[in-house]
DNA sequence: TCCTATTATGTTATTACATAACGCTACGTA
DNA sequence: TACGTAGCGTTATGTAATAACATAATAGGA
């Protein structure tokens, strides 16, 4: 978890970007969370240590972290999750368990190629791909 | 386009559900639109013919139509689009052109199987899958 | 050093997306 | 008739995201 912070620092230094206080704070909170978080939960949590933190601050940090691939936005329910496989972005699908709400990352290089081809057949050139799933994770299946 | 309405009527009758006025209205508007629409555009458009239409009315209709597979919600940008391949739902990916904003549907049975297997390897059982893309469609590529 | 451009944050306000909760109507069925 | 169910209308509110403008910090060049 502190690994992630270190990775972020390294990544920023290499690319000449600043790993500022609000960015660090947001990443820390996400990294410490077992499950993806909603933006406004992040906002109130970020504000716990004294001064109020306003939406734009957190959204800006989220944009930044998403661009670096340190955080992913889950489109289905507008939540955000820290990325384990940080720094680098081969395409990743996010599967969220309906019971425990934890997110599992799954690589999908192969799938991306197939979809790119399928799109190309219709003359469509893909630049971004979102693959997300819902279901039940192993732990919850066993617990049931 | 009127096909879609007829299909909807048939589908409802078969399943014993009512194809009520607001549901018809919302589907008509979506079917007439070239591009996916935002919920609040739908709301104001639905209200054009006299009485105001309020958010819950439209959202309820949308939920209904989505469940029947007559309409799809595009998670990336919270828009809604009428489904050409109505009534039945093999899995469909939606690719949206960044230029003209039109949505293209692409079947992805094969991809679904691969992802299901990839998930199963990690003990994750998929029940829902979202596949969405962004890019440039053929027409816009040629026009550029 | 001083100026300026750039990058990022702070702050206020607002826009956009979605649903809770309640009451009423219409309809089918015992 | 009495009841349950499905659906709509309405008010109010909750939640997500951004516009617009002001301020601070820093780096590079004259």
Mean pLDDT over A88-117 rounds to 91
pLDDT category, A86, cuts 50, 70, 90? low
Mean pLDDT over B83-105 rounds to 86
Q: Chain A closest CA to B63's CA: distance in Å?
A: 15
Are B86 and B70 in contact, with CB atoms under 8 Å apart? yes
pLDDT per residue as tens digits for the range B111-124:
999 999 999 999 99
pLDDT per residue as tens digits for the range B26-82:
999 999 999 999 999 999 999 887 778 999 999 999 999 999 999 999 999 999 999
Tokens 């078969």 label which residue? B14
Chain B residue with the nearest C-alpha to that of A129: B133
CB contact under 8 A, B124 and A97: yes
Mean pLDDT over A115-138 rounds to 96
Which B residues between 8 and 27 have a beta carbon under 7 A from any strand D atom?
17-18, 20-23
Strand C nucleotides, any atom under 7 Å to a protein CB: 7-13, 16-21
Kindly report the pTM of this predicted structure: 0.94
B78-82, B86-90, B99-103: least confidently modelled range: B86-90
For residue A20, the model assigns a pLDDT of: 96
For residue B48, the model assigns a pLDDT of: 83
User: Given a cut of 90, is residue B127 above it in pLDDT?
Assistant: yes
Q: Chain A closest CA to B85's CA: distance in Å?
A: 16
Give a three-class secondary structure readout of chain B: CHHHHHHHHHHHHHHCCCCCHHHHHHHHHHHHCCCCEEHHHHHHHHCCCCCCCCHHHHHHHHHHHHHCCCEEEECCCCEEEECCCCCCCCCEEEEEECCCCCEEEEECHHHHHHHHHHHHHCCCEEEEEEEEEEEECHHHHHHC
**DSSP symbol at A48:** S
Backbone angles phi, psi at A35, to 5 degrees: -125, 160
pLDDT per residue as tens digits for the range A51-72:
779 999 999 999 999 999 999 9
pLDDT per residue as tens digits for the range A31-50:
999 999 999 999 999 988 77
User: Given a cut of 70, is residue A100 above it in pLDDT?
Assistant: yes
């Amino acid at each position: 978890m502190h690994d992630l912070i270190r990775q972020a620092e390294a990544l920023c230094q290499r690319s000449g970007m600043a790993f500022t206080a609000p960015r660090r704070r947001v990443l820390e909170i996400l990294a410490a969370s077992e499950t993806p978080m909603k933006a406004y939960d992040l906002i109130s949590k970020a504000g716990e240590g004294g001064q109020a933190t306003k939406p734009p601050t957190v959204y800006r940090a989220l944009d930044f972290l998403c661009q670096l691939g340190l955080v992913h936005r889950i489109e289905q329910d507008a939540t955000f999750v820290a990325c384990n496989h940080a720094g680098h972005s081969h395409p990743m699908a996010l599967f969220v368990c309906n019971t425990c709400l934890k997110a599992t990352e799954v690589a999908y290089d192969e799938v991306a190629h197939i979809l790119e081809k399928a799109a190309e057949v219709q003359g469509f050139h893909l630049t971004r791909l979102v693959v997300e799933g819902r279901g039940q994770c192993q732990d919850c299946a066993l617990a049931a």
